[in-house]
């Protein structure tokens, strides 16, 4: 089962319906009233999974219509949904697991995590903004720039 399929199952169990429909080219996904629409013109399952995770973030956090991104409050809600998507698809634990599996570059990491390279870059940028250049997770130190995971022997 792909990540996208697993997310669809999870959302269905939460009472959220997911539909692939034709949307405007620049619109990748929409959420409203327990329904998520994914643009059927997105070709890759990876990109669909990334879009679906963000729309799931909207399901969890967004209140009201935020389509007008000129409003600061709407942009904040958009960013919150994206952060939820990053933390869902690329939790720190998965970065450690990837390192333990011998993953050594961003391309391999995106493949391993089943996300797009753009999504991975945005997630790493988010983590860098949240934690700084590195953070500790259990007995590991995760560096965001340059990307690397090292076991700590304290």
Same-domain status, 82 and 122: no
The pTM (predicted TM-score) of the whole model is 0.92
Backbone angles phi, psi at 6, to 5 degrees: -65, -40
Residue 20: which domain range?
A: 1-89
pLDDT at 73: 81
Query: Pick from 39, 56, 89: which residue ends a domain?
Result: 89
Same-domain status, 75 and 6: yes
Interatomic CA distance for residues 86 and 125, integer angstroms: 10
Q: State how far the alpha carbon of 115 is from the alpha carbons of 44, 112, 131, in Å.
A: 10, 8, 22
pLDDT at 119: 98
Same-domain status, 56 and 117: no
Same-domain status, 111 and 151: yes
Beta-strand runs (E) in 1-113 = 17-21, 29-32, 35-39
Query: Pick from 36, 56, 89: which residue ends a domain?
Result: 89
Q: State yes or no: pLDDT of 68 exceeds 80.
A: no
- In the chain, the N- to C-terminal Cα span, in Å, equals 39
Q: List pLDDT tens digits, range 100-142.
A: 999 989 999 999 999 999 999 999 999 999 999 999 999 999 9
Into how many domains does the chain fold? 2
Same-domain status, 69 and 119: no
Q: List pLDDT tens digits, range 12-46.
A: 999 999 999 999 989 999 999 999 999 999 999 99
User: How does the average pLDDT of the chain come out, rounded?
Assistant: 94
Interatomic CA distance for residues 38 and 18, integer angstroms: 7
DSSP strand pairing (29-32 vs 35-39): antiparallel
pLDDT at 78: 87
Q: Collapsing DSSP states into helix, strand and coil, what is residue 21?
A: strand
Query: Pick from 58, 89, 120: which residue ends a domain?
Result: 89
Same-domain status, 82 and 19: yes
Largest CA distance in the chain: 54
Same-domain status, 77 and 104: no
Query: Do residues 59 and 36 make contact, with C-beta atoms less than 8 angstroms apart?
Result: yes
* Enclosing H/E stretch for 151: strand 147-151
Q: How confident is the model at residue 91 (pLDDT cuts 50, 70, 90)?
A: very high
């Amino acid at each position: 089962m792909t990540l996208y399929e697993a997310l669809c199952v999870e959302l269905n169990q939460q009472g959220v319906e997911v539909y692939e429909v034709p949307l405007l080219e620049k619109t990748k996904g929409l959420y409203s009233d327990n329904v998520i629409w994914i643009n059927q013109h997105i070709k890759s399952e990876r990109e669909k999974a990334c879009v679906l995770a963000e729309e799931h973030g909207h399901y969890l956090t967004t209140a009201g219509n935020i389509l007008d991104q000129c409003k600061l409050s709407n942009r904040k809600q958009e960013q919150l949904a994206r952060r939820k998507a990053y933390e869902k698809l690329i939790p720190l634990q998965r970065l450690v697991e990837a390192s333990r599996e011998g993953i050594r570059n961003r391309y391999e990491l995106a493949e391993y995590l089943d996300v797009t390279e753009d999504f991975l870059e945005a997630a790493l940028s988010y983590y860098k903004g949240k934690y700084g250049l590195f953070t500790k997770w259990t007995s590991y130190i995760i560096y965001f720039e340059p990307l690397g995971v090292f076991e700590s022997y304290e």
